[in-house]
Amino acid sequence: MTTPSAHSDHAVPRIAVVDDDEALRDSLAWLLDSVGLATHAFADGDAFLAAEPDSFAAVLLDVRMPGLSGLQVQQRLNERGDIAPIIFMTGHGDVPMAVTALKAGAFDFIEKPFNHQQLIDAVQQAMAEHQRLRQTRARLETVQARYAALRPKERQILVHVAEGMTSREIAEHLDISAKTVEVYRLRAMKALGAHNLAELVRLCVALGLVEALPTEPRQQ
CATH number at residue 166: 1.10.10.10
Are 98 and 174 contained in the same domain?
Answer: no
Are 121 and 169 contained in the same domain?
Answer: no
Residue 155 lies in a domain: yes
Q: Give the end of a domain, one of 89, 114, 137.
A: 137
Element (H, E) at 187: helix 178-192
- Range scoring the smallest mean pLDDT among 98-102, 103-107, 116-120, 200-204: 98-102
Residue 145 lies in a domain: no
Are 71 and 177 contained in the same domain?
Answer: no
Are 99 and 163 contained in the same domain?
Answer: no
Q: Give the end of a domain, one of 104, 137, 170.
A: 137
Q: Count how many domains the chain has.
A: 2
- Range scoring the smallest mean pLDDT among 8-22, 39-53, 84-98: 8-22
Q: Under a CB-based contact definition with an 8 Å cutoff, are residues 42 and 18 in contact?
A: yes
Are 113 and 155 contained in the same domain?
Answer: no
Residue 91 lies in a domain: yes
Q: What residue numbers bound the domain in which 200 lies? A: 150-206
3-state helix, strand, coil in the chain (%, to 5): 55, 10, 35
Q: Residues 63-70: contacts with CB within 8 Å, 24+ apart? A: 63/88, 63/89, 63/90, 63/91, 63/94, 63/97, 63/98, 63/101, 63/109, 64/91, 64/94, 65/18, 65/19, 65/20, 66/20, 68/44, 69/45, 70/18, 70/45, 70/97, 70/101
Are 95 and 162 contained in the same domain?
Answer: no
Residue 64 lies in a domain: yes
Q: Give the end of a domain, one of 137, 172, 190.
A: 137
CATH number at residue 113: 3.40.50.2300
Question: Per DSSP, which regions of 91-207 are E strands?
Answer: 108-111
Are 70 and 156 contained in the same domain?
Answer: no
pLDDT score of 58 more than 60: yes
Residue 105 lies in a domain: yes
Q: How many CB atoms are closer than 10 A to CB 99?
A: 14
Confidence of residue 219 (pLDDT cuts 50, 70, 90): low
Measured N-to-C along each axis, helices 197-206 and 116-148 cross at an angle, to the nearest 10 degrees, of 110
pLDDT at position 21 is: 92
Cβ neighbors of 129 (< 8 A, separation 6 or more) are 85, 107
Are 41 and 101 contained in the same domain?
Answer: yes
Are 116 and 160 contained in the same domain?
Answer: no
Are 108 and 200 contained in the same domain?
Answer: no
Are 113 and 154 contained in the same domain?
Answer: no
Residue 92 falls in which region: left (phi positive, over 0), alpha (psi -120 to 50) or beta: alpha
Compare 51 and 98 and report the one with higher pLDDT: 51
Are 103 and 192 contained in the same domain?
Answer: no
Give me the amino acid identity at 67: G
pLDDT at position 102 is: 84
pLDDT score of 120 more than 90: yes
pLDDT score of 156 more than 60: yes
Compare 214 and 35 and report the one with higher pLDDT: 35
